Amino acid sequence: MFSLRYCCLPLHPGKSLQPLLSLSRVMAAPKTLGAATQGEEDSDGNRGGARGVSYEDTKDYILEPLSLPESPGGTTSLEGSPSVPCIFCEEHFPVVEQDKLLKHMIIEHKIVIADVKLVADFQRYILYWRKRFTEQPITDFCSVIRINSAAPSEEQDNYFLLCDVLPEDRILREELQKQRLKEILEQQQQERNDNSFHGICMFCNEEFLGNRSVLLNHMAREHAFNIGLPDNIVNCNEFLCTLQKKLDNLQCLYCEKTFRDKNTLKDHMRKKQHRRINPKNREYDRFYVINYLELGKSWEEVQLEDDRELLDHQEDDWSDWEEHPVSAVCLFCEKQAETIEKLCVHMEDAHEFDLLKIKSELGLNFYQQVKLVNFIRRQIHQCRCYGCHEKFRSKADLRTHMEEAKHTSLLPEKQIWDQPQYYFPTYENDTLLCTLSDSESDLTAQEQNGNIAIISEDTSKLHALKQSSILNQLLLHESLKN
């Protein structure tokens, strides 16, 4: 059994939050996380190694991944997808309802699959482990996390984590990635050699026969609409149908705004130079071969890789380094700021919540700050005031109440939020957690300019210290004053 200690603690500022995200939805239930312990096989030895959930109030559970507001994007949607069975029971879910299957396995069987988005073929992945769990106990493959370990034994629960720390799981994910890449390349080659393509230009309705490159080159040359080189595109027919559907719905392909008629949309795309697709929209990623090349990497990450170190062994040159700021979101509203200082000023001015002051007065270290932020995020997400525990219909009503009643700064007792369950982010992309720090640079000016003089000297040679210590001069100076 491998250790899961890395899954139970947040990372230091500047580090990735990815190892924690897979378990964040498990810890959403209001229970305390105990230490990771060795699981035990069911008495009947079957693969259904996890009991059903017996919690009463499920409406406050956070079982889906949450994300803070970002720029407009899209999600992949496939029609006519086959169904995927549960690993343990006979329940089936369509591939497009993957999240429902994951929620079902968490609630009914208490098993969590880490980094699901990095699984190239979810259906084959599930079928593989469904077969393996019939051959060996679940504890041979999964680490066990005991929930609410401080409670009586009848109230304790075990959750099972399946992740690529297990060599067998890692090899399976890599093989599925290779197989998917092989299928995509075969599909791309077939489309490149296909001369029976038939398509109509989205802008002038001219009809084209032959190879797909004829239509794509026409739109790039005549209409300045370039979606990339034809050889870099896969599933071209589906891609063009997706774009045509958006235009039929009077939606701009770049800013994705909707207009009242076709002429207005046409003028908008021409004047704003929006005859291109939105690179932030992940719906289009599946149509580009580059997104299948490396496991877990999008086209942006692949393009940003610096290959210069592979070409020569010159010293690293950081002269052209440009740091791209990452915005953090306010705890109470959707205001974003590039630095923790600006965000703290906003929260103090707009919501009367001074995070640095609270950190200083309570003496919070980095991990306690993480738990406090995650606690507040969860309460705000559930529209509950942490000052009076009253629940509201919307976040706007909650924010109005907390500001009028001055409850933003009315934190509950420390033992309420200083719990291991709040190690896990409420939101997967919460950048504020990466900006927290327990360094002295965040102390207030009053603390930095204290009147207590701290003198550090080498005490390894006490005799020399007595003869040459600066303390002798200070004592002499004080005696002369008196």
- Model confidence over 193-245: pLDDT tens digits? 899 999 899 888 899 998 998 999 999 888 888 887 788 888 999 999 999 99
* Residue 293 confidence (pLDDT): 77
pTM exceeds cut of 0.75: no
CA distance 67 to 69: 6
pLDDT at 64: 61
Q: Look at residue 474 and tell me whether its pLDDT is greater than 90.
A: no
Give residue 408's pLDDT.
86
Q: What is the mean pLDDT of the chain?
A: 76
Say which residue, 169 or 37, is predicted with more confidence.
Answer: 169
Q: Residues of 403-439 as b/e, b for ≥16 C-beta within 10 angstroms?
A: eeeebbeebeeeeebebbbbbbbbbbbbbbbbbbeee
pLDDT at 136: 92
Alpha-carbon distance of 321 to 315, in angstroms, equals 14
**pLDDT at residue number 467:** 66
* 57/60 Cα distance (integer angstroms): 7
Residues 88 and 103: beta-carbon distance below 8 Å: no
pLDDT at 466: 63
DSSP per-residue letters across 242-266: HHHHHHHTTB-TTT--B-SSHHHHH
Average pLDDT score over residue span 447-452: 45
Q: Residue 465: pLDDT above 50?
A: yes
